[in-house]
Each structure stands twice: as structure tokens, then as C-alpha cells.
Amino acid sequence: MRPFLYVLPVFLAAFPFSPVLAETAAASEPATAQVAPAITVSAVGKRVLRDRVIASGLIAAIENVQVAPLIEGQPIEALLVDVGDVVQAGQVLAVLSKSTLELQKSQFNASLASARATVAQAEAQLLEARSTAEEAQRVTERTSALRQQGTASQAAADTAQSNAISATARVTVAVQSLEAARAQIALVEAQMANIDLQLSRTEVTAPVSGEITARNARVGSIASAAGEPMFTLIRDNALEVLADVAEADVMRLAPGQTANLRLVGPKTPLQGTLRLVEPVIGAQSRLGRARIAVDDESGVRAGMYVEAEILVAEHDVIAVPVTAVGSGPDGATVMKVTGESVQRVAVQTGIRDGGWVEILSGLADGDVVVTKAGAFVRDGDRINPVPATN
């Protein structure tokens, strides 16, 4: 090989470079055409998208009912329910002592018997007074007749008249005594009714149906309406989520909207219904409050943490992948494919859901766009469209 290396420089010197030879060599090379890049594209089509509001909060009772004794000063003899028991409206929860009230009832029974005896005496006195008054009136009439005939003195007539007036006055007194005796009976009967009412209230009953969540009563303690209630229960065991909502989303919520509720433990979401949107925004937190009723309370407890997805709207709309939408100074844009070239088109977007975005204007059903707006394509570039697999 060494002799060849020595000969090559001599050959090149003898035959210098010629442009004609270069052009001939270039012409002999095969012509290569420019190849367009393969770019993934997606067709614009209709899809069901859901607009959701994300919120979180704690489960609480829709209504807590506190049970307090309706009478005070009586010791608690028995407690018939405990925390966690489900009770019905009217069910007896606790029993108070009745001994003092029963003793008072015995006293009132005696007072009632005495009042009735007094009424009987007053009625007898009234009969006697009326009889005496009638007799005195007859004597007065006879004496007056005899006085006119001249057989009776004026003194006798005056005495008879005076006796008649006295007898009439005694009738009035007897009537008043009878009324007083009857009023005493009414008073004692009212006191008896009050005692019977208090005796009935020695059984503390549930005002509504629900589940007992707290029991502060203790056997032997004195029942009192002041301080802590004897029992606390959840009315009808109805629970709700007190969900905190961003200020920007509060006005999108309305009662009746459905929600998916996710607890910390179970994977299967629960269902709920938005029942109330509070009209006040927190001054410090800048959060609103939505109350979501839990449809099935069997698997939840008050105090649990819940994440809620509130369904605001559900529409069948024209949508493209989220990756197909870019943003710029003029707003949202997509790279629309026309033939083998692309064109930047301004669009107006709406709902974003599950990797898809609603197109309100700028595209039509059946159009084709570049799947990834950030791909290496510019307005007017030629591409080799490759349909997306999903």
C-alpha cells in the first residue's frame, strides 16, 4: 500500500480540480425529496363532558335534637338507652323518681275531698237560708195584712220586715260560700291535673326518631333543664356534608345538584344531593359553605372527612384533547390540519373534564387538529398526519 500513497499526490498535482467534473458528479447523485414530519392528529367530535366543583368537608347531622327533662328537682332512677341506640319518637329514654309527686298527689286528693265536703255543706246552708228567707217573707206579708186591718201593731210589722231582710242577706252569704267552695274544688282539680302532668313527665321520651349520639345523664343525679341536655340525638339519622367551596365556584352551585362523595376508607363513592348553599362567604377563609345531604347514612358517621365532586352541568359537546389547546396573548388556540398543512386557529373553550376540553367556537364537528399543540409545528407547516389511536 505504501507505493500507492506516494503516487496519489503526484496524480492530484497532474490533474487539478475542475468545476465541470464537480457538476458531473453532482448530477450523477440521485435527487432526494424533502420528507414532511409525522405528527399525531385528533378528530374533533362530540363527547359527553361534565362540569364539576371539587369541595371537601366533614360529615355532620342535619339537625341535632337535645333532650332535656320537662320537670326539675327529681332524681334519675333509670336510663333505658345508650349512645348509638336508634330510638323512635315517643320512646322512653329515662325514668325520674315519682315518690315526691305521688305524695303531693295524695295531699291534693285529701284537699279535693275536703273541698267537696265544703261544697255539700254550703249547698245545705243555702237551702236552709232560702227556706228561712221564704218563711220570713211570708210572715212579713201576714203582719202587713194584719196591720192594715188594725189587729197588729206597727212594731210587729217592722220586726217582721227586718227579719225578712236578714234572711235574704243570709241567702246571699250562703250563695257566695257555695261559690267559694266550688272554686276551691276547681283549684284542687287543677293542682291534681298539674301533678298528673308532672308524673307523666317523669318518663323522659324522645321527641323525634333518630340515633343517640350523646348521653350526659347519670343515674341518681337530679334532673335539671339547665346545663347539658340529658341526651342528644340525630333527627331521623339524617347526615350531611359541610363542604367548603372556593369563592369562585359558589355561584355555580344550586340546590338539587348531585354529588359523588369519597371517604377516606371505602373506595366506592357515596351519593349525595346538594340541599343548601349558605349565603355567606367566610371573611377570613374566603370560602363558601355547601350542605350536601348523604343519600345512604348506613356507611358513614358524623365527623368523617369527605371529598365531594358536585356535578354542575353535563352536556354533549364538541371536544378536543386538552393537549391540543395552547395559550397565547390572544387566548386559546389550536393547530387545525387542512390537507397536509396546519393553521393556527383561535378557539373559545368551556368545560374541561378527563383530559378533554369543550370547544364553544372556532372548530366544527369533524375538523382535525394537532393532538399536541406544543409539537414542533408552526402556522403554515406541512406535516404527515398520523391519526391518534384513542
Say yes or no: 335 and 288 in one domain: no
Q: Is residue 83 domain-resident?
A: yes
What number of residues does the chain have? 390
What CATH number is associated with residue 344? Answer: 2.40.420.20
pLDDT given for residue 83 in this prediction = 94
Task: Choose the final residue of a domain: 292, 314, 336.
Answer: 314
Residue 85 domain-assigned? yes
- Is 279 part of any domain? yes
Question: Which among 314, 329, 345 is the end of a domain?
Answer: 314
Do residues 130 and 274 share a domain?
A: no
In a domain, residue 379? The reply is: yes
Q: Are residues 78 and 113 in the same domain?
A: no
**Residue 277 domain flag:** yes
Please give the Cα distance from 216 to 232 (Å, whole number).
Answer: 9
**Average pLDDT, integer, range 29-37:** 59
pTM for the whole structure: 0.65
Q: What is the domain count for the chain? A: 4
Which residue, 314, 330, 359, sits at the end of a domain?
Answer: 314
Asked whether residue 255 falls in the same domain as residue 125, the answer is: no
Same domain, 226 and 249: no
| Domain identity same for 193 and 338 | no
CB 187 within 8 A of CB 117: no
Do 344 and 376 lie in a common domain? yes
Confidence of residue 32 (pLDDT cuts 50, 70, 90): very low
**CA angle 378–384–387, rounded 5-degree value:** 105
Rounded to the nearest 5°, which phi and psi values hold at 303? Answer: 100, -10
Burial code (b: 16+ CB inside 10 Å, e: under 16) for 114-137 equals ebeebbeebeebbeebbebbeebb
| Same domain (yes/no): 134, 169 | yes
**Same domain flag for 269 and 330:** no
pLDDT digits (tens, 9 = 90+) for 124-136: 988 988 888 888 8
Residues 305 and 373 in one domain: no
Residue 366 within a domain: yes
- Tens of pLDDT, residue by residue over 332-346, are 888 899 888 888 889
In this structure, the answer to whether residues 266 and 350 fall within a common structural domain is no
pLDDT digits (tens, 9 = 90+) for 230-245: 999 999 999 999 999 9
Give me 266's grid cell: 371505602
Q: Give the domain extent around 255.
A: 53-61+236-314
Strand pairing category for 45-61 and 239-246: antiparallel
